[in-house]
Amino acid sequence: MRQLHPPIHLLKAFSTTARFGSISRAAEALHLTQSAVSKQVQELERATGVPLFERVRKRLSLTPAGRRYEVAIRPLLAQLETATLELITSGDGGGALHLSTLPTFGAKWLIPRLPAFQHAHPQIALHFVPYVQGYDFHRADLDCSILFGDGHWPGAVADYLTGRDVVLIAPPAPRGKALLRKAQDVAKFQRLQHVSVPNAWAHWCDAHAVEGVNPFAGPQLDQFHSLIRAVAAGMGLALVPQCLVRDDIAAGVVSAPLDDGYVDELGYWLCYPEAKAHLPPLVGFRSWLLAEC
């Protein structure tokens, strides 16, 4: 009777050989002998009754059936490896939390605070998933994400964190001289745009009764970090969440000549599917994060 649940070591040998297209390279990666890897691949072929490889010009090549099988088992092996890593790193059972965050928020706000989280929750292991625009909570490797917006994402619970307090930043001012004295002075400078917040200047100008400027004109950048660096280099003015630039203002990297307490409708939110809201690592991280904010 064919084995429908082949041993993991046979699947690993097959997948590694398929990736390298070579028994010898697979043996090196698995720290086994070439003979052992070859026997494991042959054992899997006997167990399934299906040829998985064919030799083409002294190189192993997957058969059509082998190619379909490798594509199917690759994510399963990766998931098993991830689950085992979580078991090892969780130690006393706290578990792991897979999260993503916007790059600037992660670098300038979240990561500097993570030592405090680790001290408070040593049993929780954080695994950062590469950030992509938007989110996909159908992925098994994503539990929560820190997003920027108005707090409404279909299928997600959203807890407001910070970011609605917006500050206008300008290049460092010459000693004793303010670059801007009133809101209308923004007309004298180039205004930098964030591609994901196209209405920022329009809202700010409306709130400050600024007239005679095109709120959509100016170079577009894709991250707040880039905006801060561009302002510091003297490219123009920018509107940035205060939580991201407070240290740069204090250090004199940029200036805030019109720090007027402007509040926008957008900010940073912790988002997660309701089905995962009960997960102990997420409960612990959420509680800590909201307290930090």
List, in order of start, the domains of the chain with CATH numbers: 8-90 (1.10.10.10), 96-163+267-292 (3.40.190.10), 166-250 (3.40.190.10)
What local confidence, expressed as pLDDT, does residue 144 receive? 94
Using 70 as the pLDDT threshold, list the residues of the chain that sit under it. 1-3, 82-94, 133-134, 140, 176
User: What gap in Å lies between CA 30 and CA 8, rounded to an integer?
Assistant: 13
Position 170, amino acid = A
Q: Is 22:55 a contact under the CB 8 Å cutoff?
A: no
3-state secondary structure the chain: CCCCCCCHHHHHHHHHHHHHCCHHHHHHHHCCCHHHHHHHHHHHHHHHCCCCEEEECCEEEECHHHHHHHHHHHHHHHHHHHHHHHHHHHCCCCCEEEEEECHHHHHHHHHHHHHHHHHHCCCCEEEECCCCCCCCCCCCCCCEEEEEECCCCCCCEEEEEECCEEEEEECCCCCCCCCCCCHHHHHHCCECEECCCCCHHHHHHHHCCCCCCCCCCCCEECCHHHHHHHHHCCCCEEEEEHHHHHHHHHCCCCECCCCCCCECCCEEEEEECHHHCCCHHHHHHHHHHHHHC
Question: Six-digit token pair at 239?
Answer: 């509107």
The b/e string for 128-157 (b: 16+ C-beta within 10 A; e otherwise) is ebebeeebebeeeebbbbbbbbeeebeebb
Residue 92 vs residues 1, 97, 122: alpha-carbon distances, Å: 41, 15, 10
The bridge status of strand 157-162 relative to strand 267-272 is antiparallel
Residue 217 and residue 237 in contact, taking contact as beta carbons nearer than 8 Å = no
| pLDDT tens, position by position, 65-103 | 999 999 999 888 877 876 666 665 555 546 889 999 999
**Between the CA of residue 275 and those of 26, 29, 42, 285, what are the distances in Å?**
40, 38, 43, 16
Q: Do residues 181 and 188 make contact, with C-beta atoms less than 8 angstroms apart?
A: no
pLDDT computed for residue 82 by the predictor: 66
pLDDT tens per residue across span 195-217 = 999 999 999 999 999 999 999 99
The residue behind tokens 């190189």 is: 59
